[in-house]
Structures are given as structure tokens and as C-alpha cells.
Structure 1
Amino acid sequence: MPGRDGAALHEAEHDGGEIGADAPDHVPRTAWAHGSIVPRRLLRLPRHPLAWALLAALAALVATPLASLLAIALRGDPELWPHLAAYVLPDAIVTTALLLAGIAVLTSLIGVGTAWLVAVHDFPGRSLMTWLLPLPLAFPTYIVAYVYADTLDTLGPVQGALRWLLGIAVPAGSLLPEPRSLGGAVVIMSLVLYPYVHLAMRASFQGRSAVLIEAARLFGASPWRIARTITLPMARPALAAGLALVLMESLNDIGATEYLGVRTLTLAVFTTWLNRGSLAGAAQIAVVMLIAVAALIALERHARRHRVVAASSADARTCRRVPLTGAAGILALLACLVPVGLGFAVPFGFLLREVLTRGLLVGFDPDLVRHIGSTVMLAGAATVLVLGLGFGGAFAARLIRRRRAGALLGAAGLGYAVPGTVLALGLLGPLVAVDEAIGGVVRAVTGHGAGLLLAGSAAAVVIAYTIRFLAIATGFAQAALTRLPVDLDDAAASVGARPRRVVAAVHLPLTRPALVGAALLVFVDCLKELPATLLLRPLNTETLATYVYQFATRGSFEEGALAALLIVLVGLVPVIRMVRLADDLDPDAPLA
């Protein structure tokens, strides 16, 4: 009976079995499995060995540097760890915890508040604010830190203007809080990172169910009580996801924290490795960072535990926006303008002014052209590799349809949670081991060594980028593929189409927008990546990020303003695309 066979098929798939292995050669396996000639004893589908191999390779690609890092830490000098535990780690852990806590609080306040205003209310300038609020994401945190540290310095233009207004002739001290401090780092980094929370919360608020809100109003609930008991609790998973991204980016940062004098764990790894020449010590600190990353992931998953939010299938209407007029509308506009102005307009204006006043467009450094070429080459190569592996892994997991396949794909995406400094440290061992193996083969054949082919080359940087940003491609691909009914795959297979043909003819055309979005985001993230590039780039090779960093460490950041502006301008492209995606979720219902 077809119904009984379909139920048996469903049951067999959930038990981990595969169906159709005994089908005659002239009958497609899917048709044999799903048609009326299915035997009572359901057998297994092909195991898809290539798909399994790809997923296993992706998981191993991320696991290998982490395993190498643990090995380096365990082989380290046993007398070194007590020194680190006594004199380095306590201060670094406390500073890192305070930095992350401060950034979490401030980004939540800015992100949730602005998202609530633009998603729930309508006020003059709201449409413009929906485009402007995410723009600080185009800035790397280290560039904004350089800008504010220079402009708010005691001898900077802001305090100079204040002294002129107050009639103070000679600087007798700072008139403003010191930006080169823990508090300064919290504020400056939060101004760049709050859009992660804003976009996540905005999407959640825009999807509020009108059914729940209207039911609460019938029982006399005030707007504040509805927000506190319904809207905000339902948006908690979105807040957890946004904060997880914020904290991962904060933990990965090295340029801003170093320039602002904040001694975090990431900076401790960097200085222990390069300045003190202790690879084992750096690895031991990096293991502590991995524990912190694991704790952040666990907290994020715990926050979303057993919290599945589903709209009513009977009435899927979303809430209409509430108009704000008069003083309330003006205050809402000002509340949105402040983070946009401080997080984007001020740094962008500073860079543009420096480029124009210093004549950097006309008399720019000739080496900058070469550095732009290096940046584009490294980012482009990594983007192609990330897209191929990420979308290939997502297609493989869809083909296999097993929980273990999904687990392998999830493991492959954990690289994004690993800070670039830690990743670079863990990659050294495997890269050197591969170089030695290749050198041994070449020496046996030719009698001459091959030298270092991966370690210390551009390939090392590309590999680091691939591991770190693979999660972006897999996330985009999975989100796009979940919108495609599995019946499409089954229909193609029922007429004898091989998986390769299904991917080329069905999946790729339908997931092309996601492919383009992932490519833009990966490319820009590669442009902005600083820690891994600093530690793994070949000698005499600079990217735009390291080029700006070199000027900042010499105290002449303004001379690198053109390179910084180029990074920002390119970064605006994926940010605008993300805004368009978020805007598609905005309800078109007329205002209440």
C-alpha cells in the first residue's frame, strides 16, 4: 500500500538506513524507493562516499590546527605555565572579561533600542535610519580606534576646540575621558559592533505576531508590559545570536585593543609569541582563549535552549508600526542618529578629510598599488575556496540527509569562533609538517630540498582565511537550501539525474543570490582580517589591513588614511546588501 510504504520509508530514514540499494539497474533508485514497487524489506540507498569524504575533510580542516595547538601547549616548558598563571593570565583574563561584559551591555542597549525604534515605530526619518544604522559594520574596529584615539587625544582637534571655547591657552591635562583605556575600548568597539545585535533584533521585532499582541491588549496589558512579557522574551534567541557574533569579534580583535592599551588574552598571545619568543607560552594562553570561546558558544546555545518561536498558522499577520509624532518622533530620530554619527559619520569624515588635506589621492605611496594587489589576490583566492568548500559541504549534507552529516558540517563552521591569533598559532605545526613531507618526497626524487612551500607563504594566509570564514558560506548555503523543497531533489533523481547534475541544474541556480551574498561578505571579512594576516603573511607582503596597522604602530595613522578608506568603501557593499535583506522582512501593512 502506498501509504504504508511511505510511512515505512520515513521510519527507515530516521533509523539511519538507506533505501533502494537492490533496485534493478533500469529503474532509478528513488523511483524504486518511493514508487509502488517498493519491497516490504526496505534496503539502503548508496552511501555517497564522496559526500561523506568532503564533510569529513572540512571538519578535519578546522580540527587540525586546534589539535596542533593543544599539542604545542602540552609540549611546552612545564616551568613556563606557573609563570603565566601567576603574572600574565590573571590580568589578561580579568581585562578580557571586563571588556566583553562592557561591550555586551553597551551593544545590547544600542542594538535593541535602535531596532525597537525602527521596527516597532514610525517617525520622521525612519526609512533613512533603517539604511544608516547598520553602516558602522563597514569599519574594522581597529580603524575606528585609531580615529578616536587621535581625535580625542589631549593635543587632538576635539580638545583643542574645547580649550579654545573655555579660554584655556596651555594644555594642563585632558578635558575628556582617556580613550586609551578599558572604558574607551568598550565604547569605541561597541560603536562598531552594535549592528550585529541591531540587525538580529530588528528582524525579530518585525516578525512580531499580531495575534499575541492583540490578545494581550484585550486583557488590558500596557505597551510596556507587552514588550517585557511577550516581545522581548520572544526575541531572546536573536539577541543571543547577535551578542555571540559581537563577543567573537571582540575576542578576535588585536589592532584596537593594542592601540588603546588594553591587555586582553589575544594581545597576550601575540606578545608572548613574537615579543618574548615563546611559542609554547603563546599556545598555552591560546588554549585558555579556546576555553573562553567554548564558554561563549555554550552560553549562546543555552540562551536559545527550548525556545522555539513560531507564528500562528491561523493568522500570520505582523504588527503594524506605531506612529511617533512631535517631540517623541524627534527624540526617536536623535536616538538613532547618535550611534550612526559616532560609529560611521565621524570616522568616515575623518578619513576623507585626511585623504584630501594630505593629498593622498595624488601623491599616494607607490607601494600602495602593490599592497592593494596583494590584498585582492589573497581575499579573492580565499573567497573562491570558501565558497567552493562551504556550498559543496552544504550540498553534501543535503544529499546524505543524516544527522551525522549535519554534525560534521557544523564542526566545519566552528572556525569562525576561533580568534585569528589562535588559528594562526595552531596552523604553524600542520603547515610545517606538510612542507617537510613534500620536501622529503622531492629530496628523494631530485636530491634537493623544496624549502617551505606553505608555511610563511601566501598559501598559509589563504588557508587561515578559509578556515576562519568557512562558516559564512555554509550558513548562507544552508539557509538557501532549506527554502528548497526536498521534492525537487527526489523528482530529479526519479528521472535518473545524478547528484552532480541536480546540483548544477537545480541547486546552484536557485541559491545564486545566497552565493553572491556569501562571496561579498567573505571577501570583505578577508580584507579586514588583521591578526591572522599579521602572523602568517610572507616577508615583505602587506595587505591593506597590515599596511594601516604599520602606520598606526609608528604613530602616523593619518598617512594610511587612504588604505583605511578603501577598506571601508569596499565594506559598504555587503552591508548595504544585508540591509536590503533585512528590509525585505519589513511588513507593508498600513500604519495603525
Structure 2
Amino acid sequence: MSERNRFLKTSSWMLSLLLVLPIIAIFYASFGESEEVFGHLMSTVMGTYTINTALLVVGTVFLSILMGIPSAWLMANYAISGDRWLQWALVLPLAMPSYIVGYIYTDWFDYAGPLQGLLREWMGWTSATQYWFPDLRTLLGACFVLSLVLYPYIYLLARAAFMEQSLTLTQSARLLGCSPLQSFFRISLPLARPAIAIGSSLVAMEAIGDFGIVSYLSVSTLTTAVYDTWLGYSNLNAAAKISAIMLVVIFILISSERYSRRKQKLFSQNSSPDKIAKVHLQGGFKLAAVLWCWVLFILAFLAPLSQLIFYAWTYHSTSSIVDFAQYSFNSLYVSAIAAVVALIIGLTVNLYHRLSVTVWGAVPARVSSLGYAMPGTVLAIGVLIFLTSADHFINDVAEEFGFGRLGLFLSGTMFALLTAFVVRFSAVAIGSIESSLTKVSPSFDMAARTLGCNVRGMILRIQLPLIRRGCLIAMLLVFIESMKELNAAILLRPFNFETLATYVFNYASDEHLEYAASSAILLVMVGLVPLIMINRSLEQSHA
């Protein structure tokens, strides 16, 4: 088996090495000469960038918990008006790009916007000095917008945790005299802590890596510092130093979350098929629950989407159909290639893990998944450093053999963008395929081997047919994530090459989102597909 498995073993280790090279390149470049740019940043603005990033993460996580946990508790335990719609509708804001929501709310909240205009008309005010109105172009505004689109991470995981909890625990608490609120804080919430911690860490990583909304609202964070240092100061080493700091912070964040719950174990889950029906709320509690969930859905998804539809209808005659078609094709083309490559990587490392007889078989899959934790801006730095070094090496070799210099055919082309997508989203494909493979009993493999089937035949006849649905889901998820990716695309796209995400962001940055509303709607619709799939899977697993 080990001899016949040599190809998978070699391929898995080579692919995992290639996928981790951008991370290694960041730390390697961070030790390079930065021409005192980094020292200047450290002595002037780096403190502000770091504090803003920390406040952005804390504020976003706090607001996301405030929005996500009550909604998850209500959907898991209580029957309210429209709960069958709400349980999946509350997930949909995750499909909204943050910079689109930020643009729309800023347009509404600005001095010349409709809300302040109505307020001045009703109250007879003539100047902004006569009243106070919240300013969205602030750090708190960025936290608010990000929490609107990121709270579903906490909502999904917390809802699943609440649904899995044993009913006997809450029933015992009620028999001992606890009110529903007391049983929530003493029983349900502590049991759901691991899920909430994971959701909060996902929100925190997304907040650290966000570029679109902080750039649009002019909030200086470490992500914008990377962008400005690279393009403003033209110093890649200084940008790599900041990127390395961000990677260390993310590593500490993930490690702290796992360490904090290292001794926590959950042995009691609700496995009874006779699940008690949801409680029907009455009176003021029912009204408050209905308002909370529906208002949250409207603010986070329905209102921004309605505004986009209004923009698309009103400005359709001034929108460029040619640009929309070209940039849609660009996104589809790049995303499709990234999905196929990520699928090949996911199959290779997972099949090697499946067939390996040593503990080292799991290492390539884990190493290949590291890129998903990297913010897109940081990943772009790593990919550029790695591919630029490869370009110079290949050019030197070609010149040595008399072929002349070939140019930046890796770092200066679409190949760089594809590399970033594959490095970042291979983890999605690996996870999906791994989940499917774990459901295939090892007895199938043993039976195939007993009947004389070699490794190749066992993979083609047994394993691949049984995991084809997982492979399709893996490709779909990578395709959709690549379609929506902004941070890496805006930094690595070739000249005169736009994706839908960069096209929409450019118009939003220029305060003309209405001219790209159709493209923004397409991005949102594409993002809805995996959310609906995830929610249906959650419903089926707890049916």
C-alpha cells in the first residue's frame, strides 16, 4: 500500500508546501530592509492603527454577539410569527458585502441623506448645529456595519448549539425554580460557549482582515496600513512587517480561543427523536421577539437589498451592459479555474490522509488549510513576494541560457490572482471533501482490497462515486467565495482586469454605487447559495 501510495504522498506534500510558501514569504520579507519606512510608521501612526484595529474587533464582536445570540435562542426554542422564514432569513446578511451595506447606510445617514432631510423638515431645523445625528463615518459606524453582515456566524453556530442541548437540563432547571431567563444564563449559555467562541473568533478574523468598509469609511486599521504602505510608500518589506504582525495576532487569537476551552467537554446532547415543541410566546414577550428578529433582518439585509434594486431600476439606462458582461465573465472564469484547482488539492490531500497508515498523513491537509485564516490583503502580500521571487529566478535562469528575460509572467498576470484564490479557499474544499470522506466506512476500502482492487481502482470505483456530492459542494463553495473576494483581487488583479467585486467597490468608493447596482445584486445573489445550503443542512440534521 505504501509503495502504491507514493504518488499521492509526494503530491500532497508538494501541494501543501506550495500553499504555505506565501505565509513563509511574508515572514522572510519582514526581516528585509524597509528603508526606515516601518520605523517611521511605528513612531507616528502605527499605534493609532493598532488601537483602531483592536477597537474594531472588540466592537464588532460585541455587537455581533448582541445581535446573534438572542436571535439564535429565540429561533431554537420559541415559536413566533414567521419563524419558519426567519430561521433562514437571519442568515442572509452574510451574503451582503460590507462595503455595499456601508455605502447604503452612509447615503441614508449623511447630512444630505433622506433621514436627516426628513428630520430637518419635520422639526424646522436649518443647520446641523441645531441637532445631533449619528455619524457613520467613524470607528463605531464601521463596527455597526460589520456586525450587521457578520453576526450570522454567531447566530448559526449558537442556534445549532442551542438545538443540540439536552432538554432534561433546562427542564431540571425549571423544576428547581429557575425562570426561563435564569436557565438561559446558567445552563444554555455556558453550554453554548464553545460554539459562541468559535463564531466570535470568525467574526474577529473577518473584522481584522476587512478592507472594503474601513477604507470606505476612512477608518485607519492595520489592513489599510498594509495597503497604504505597499502602494503609497512602494515598500513591500515594510508592508510585509505589518502583515507578519497581523498573522501573529490572528495566530494568538485562534490559539487563545482553543486554549480557553481546552478542558471543556460536553457529554449530554439532545439525541431524543421526541423533541418537545417550541414554546409559544404570549403578550409583550411575543411582540418584542417578533420585532427584534424582523427588524434585524430588515436592517441587515432587506433594506440594503431593496435600495440596490431601486438603484438598478432607476439607473439601468446609464449602466454599462458591456462592462457588466465583461467583468462578470472575468469573475466566472477566474472563479471556475480556482474551484477546479482547489478541488484537485482537496481530493489529493484528503485521499492521502485516508490511505496513510501514519499520523503524518493528516499534516498536508492541515498545512494546506492555513491560508484561510489569512486576511486577503495579507495574503496578497505573501503571494506577490513569492511569485515575484519566482519570476526573477526564472528570468535569471532564462537569461543565463540565452533565452532573454521573460518578464513578470507570474506576478504580473492573472496567475497571481488565481494563486491567491487557491491558497485562501483550498481550506473550504478540503473541509467539504473531508466531511464526505469521513462518512464512507473503512469497511468499503477493506472489501475492495480483499477483492483485489488496487489503490487507483478503489479511489475511482468506491471513494469518488461516494463523495461526488461533497466534491460538487466543495467546487461550488470555492467558486462563490472567489466571486466575492475583494481584498486580494483589488491588489493582485492585472492591469485593465476587473472582477465584479472590484468593479462594485470602485464605484462605491467614488460614491456612484447606483451605476454598478446590477453587479452588486449579482454578487449578493451568488452569495445566497451557500447560505441556503448550510441552513437546509442544519434543518435536516435537527429534524
| TM-score, normalization by structure 2 | 0.94
Of the structure 1 ranges 69-78 and 144-153, higher mean CA displacement relative to structure 2 is found in: 69-78
Matching residue within 97, 101, 106 for 1:140: 97
Q: Deviations over 1:374-423 (max 9, x none)?
A: 11111111111112212321222111153322233112111111111111
For structure 2, which runs of at least 5 residues remain unmatched after alignment? Answer: none
Answer whether contact 2:15 2:368 (CA < 8 A) is retained: yes
Residue 323 (structure 1) aligns with: 280
Answer whether contact 1:206 1:318 (CA < 8 A) is retained: no
Residue 349 (structure 2) aligns with: 393
Q: C-alpha distance in 1, partners of 2:272/2:128?
A: 65
Q: C-alpha distance in 1, partners of 2:354/2:542?
A: 30
Answer whether contact 1:206 1:585 (CA < 8 A) is retained: no
Residue 468 (structure 2) aligns with: 512
Q: C-alpha distance in 2, partners of 1:293/1:449?
A: 39
Matching residue within 423, 441, 448 for 1:485: 441
> Is residue 119 of structure 2 the alignment partner of residue 162 of structure 1?
yes
Q: C-alpha distance in 2, partners of 1:323/1:512?
A: 42
Distance 1:402 1:167, change over 3 A: farther
* CA shift for structure 1 position 328: 2.1
Residue 532 (structure 2) aligns with: 576
RMSD of aligned residue pairs (Cα, Å): 2.2
Residue 297 (structure 1) aligns with: 254
Residue 405 (structure 1) aligns with: 361
* CA shift for structure 1 position 232: 1.6
Distance 1:317 1:244, change over 3 A: farther
Distance 1:232 1:58, change over 3 A: farther
Residue 542 (structure 1) aligns with: 498
Of the structure 1 ranges 104-113 and 68-77, higher mean CA displacement relative to structure 2 is found in: 68-77
Q: Deviations over 1:259-318 (max 9, x none)?
A: 111111000000011012121211111111111111111122124313332346996765
Q: C-alpha distance in 1, partners of 2:34/2:232?
A: 17
Answer whether contact 1:51 1:397 (CA < 8 A) is retained: no
* CA shift for structure 1 position 171: 5.2
Residue 164 (structure 2) aligns with: 207
Q: C-alpha distance in 1, partners of 2:247/2:140?
A: 25
Residue 503 (structure 1) aligns with: 459
Q: C-alpha distance in 2, partners of 1:73/1:400?
A: 36
Q: C-alpha distance in 1, partners of 2:307/2:36?
A: 48
* CA shift for structure 1 position 218: 4.5
> Is residue 507 of structure 2 the alignment partner of residue 551 of structure 1?
yes
> Is residue 40 of structure 2 the alignment partner of residue 83 of structure 1?
yes
Computing the radius of gyration over CA atoms, which structure comes out larger, 1 or 2? 1
Distance 1:320 1:510, change over 3 A: farther
Q: C-alpha distance in 1, partners of 2:39/2:497?
A: 37
Q: Secondary structure at the match of 1:177?
A: coil
Q: C-alpha distance in 2, partners of 1:223/1:74?
A: 56
Tell me the amino acid that sits aligned with residue 501 of structure 1.
G
Residue 241 (structure 2) aligns with: 284
Residue 375 (structure 1) aligns with: 331
Q: Secondary structure at the match of 2:369?
A: helix
Answer whether contact 2:163 2:270 (CA < 8 A) is retained: no
Q: C-alpha distance in 1, partners of 2:282/2:175?
A: 25
Distance 1:221 1:326, change over 3 A: closer
Answer whether contact 2:99 2:508 (CA < 8 A) is retained: no
Q: Secondary structure at the match of 2:119?
A: helix
Q: Secondary structure at the match of 1:308?
A: coil
Tell me the amino acid that sits aligned with residue 89 of structure 2.
L
Q: Secondary structure at the match of 2:15?
A: helix
* CA shift for structure 1 position 123: 1.5
> Is residue 135 of structure 2 the alignment partner of residue 178 of structure 1?
yes
Residue 590 (structure 1) aligns with: none
* CA shift for structure 1 position 234: 1.8
Q: C-alpha distance in 2, partners of 1:298/1:499?
A: 37
Answer whether contact 1:208 1:319 (CA < 8 A) is retained: no
Distance 1:368 1:233, change over 3 A: same
Q: Deviations over 1:332-377 (max 9, x none)?
A: 11111122111101110111111111125x7534222111111111
Of the structure 1 ranges 529-538 and 241-250, higher mean CA displacement relative to structure 2 is found in: 241-250
Q: Deviations over 1:225-274 (max 9, x none)?
A: 33223322221111122112211211221110011111110000000110
Residue pairs, 1:206-245, within 5 angstroms: 206-245=163-202
Q: C-alpha distance in 1, partners of 2:172/2:458?
A: 46
Residue pairs, 1:410-559, within 5 angstroms: 410-440=366-396, 442-443=398-399, 447-559=403-515
Answer whether contact 1:153 1:159 (CA < 8 A) is retained: yes
> Is residue 266 of structure 2 the alignment partner of residue 309 of structure 1?
yes
Answer whether contact 1:154 1:173 (CA < 8 A) is retained: no
Residue 190 (structure 1) aligns with: 147
Q: C-alpha distance in 2, partners of 1:389/1:184?
A: 40
Q: C-alpha distance in 2, partners of 1:326/1:224?
A: 17
Answer whether contact 2:429 2:477 (CA < 8 A) is retained: no
Q: C-alpha distance in 2, partners of 1:319/1:311?
A: 17
Q: C-alpha distance in 2, partners of 1:248/1:241?
A: 11
> Is residue 206 of structure 2 the alignment partner of residue 249 of structure 1?
yes
Matching residue within 208, 216, 219 for 1:259: 216
* CA shift for structure 1 position 432: 2.1
For structure 1, which runs of at least 5 residues remain unmatched after alignment? Answer: 1-28, 30-44, 588-592
Answer whether contact 2:369 2:430 (CA < 8 A) is retained: yes
* CA shift for structure 1 position 491: 1.7
Residue 68 (structure 1) aligns with: 25
Residue 566 (structure 1) aligns with: 522
Distance 1:318 1:483, change over 3 A: farther
* CA shift for structure 1 position 466: 0.5
* CA shift for structure 1 position 214: 3.6
Of the structure 1 ranges 415-424 and 221-230, higher mean CA displacement relative to structure 2 is found in: 221-230
Distance 1:315 1:558, change over 3 A: closer
Of the structure 1 ranges 126-135 and 314-323, higher mean CA displacement relative to structure 2 is found in: 314-323
Distance 1:280 1:442, change over 3 A: closer
Tell me the amino acid that sits aligned with residue 295 of structure 1.
I
Answer whether contact 2:164 2:269 (CA < 8 A) is retained: no
Distance 1:586 1:166, change over 3 A: farther
Distance 1:365 1:446, change over 3 A: farther
Answer whether contact 2:49 2:225 (CA < 8 A) is retained: yes
Distance 1:62 1:307, change over 3 A: farther
Q: C-alpha distance in 2, partners of 1:573/1:48?
A: 36
* CA shift for structure 1 position 488: 1.9
Residue 15 (structure 1) aligns with: none
Q: Secondary structure at the match of 1:366?
A: helix
Answer whether contact 1:415 1:471 (CA < 8 A) is retained: yes
Q: C-alpha distance in 2, partners of 1:315/1:346?
A: 40
Residue pairs, 1:344-355, within 5 angstroms: 344-355=301-312
Tell me the amino acid that sits aligned with residue 59 of structure 1.
S
Identity of aligned residues (%): 36
Q: Secondary structure at the match of 1:584?
A: helix
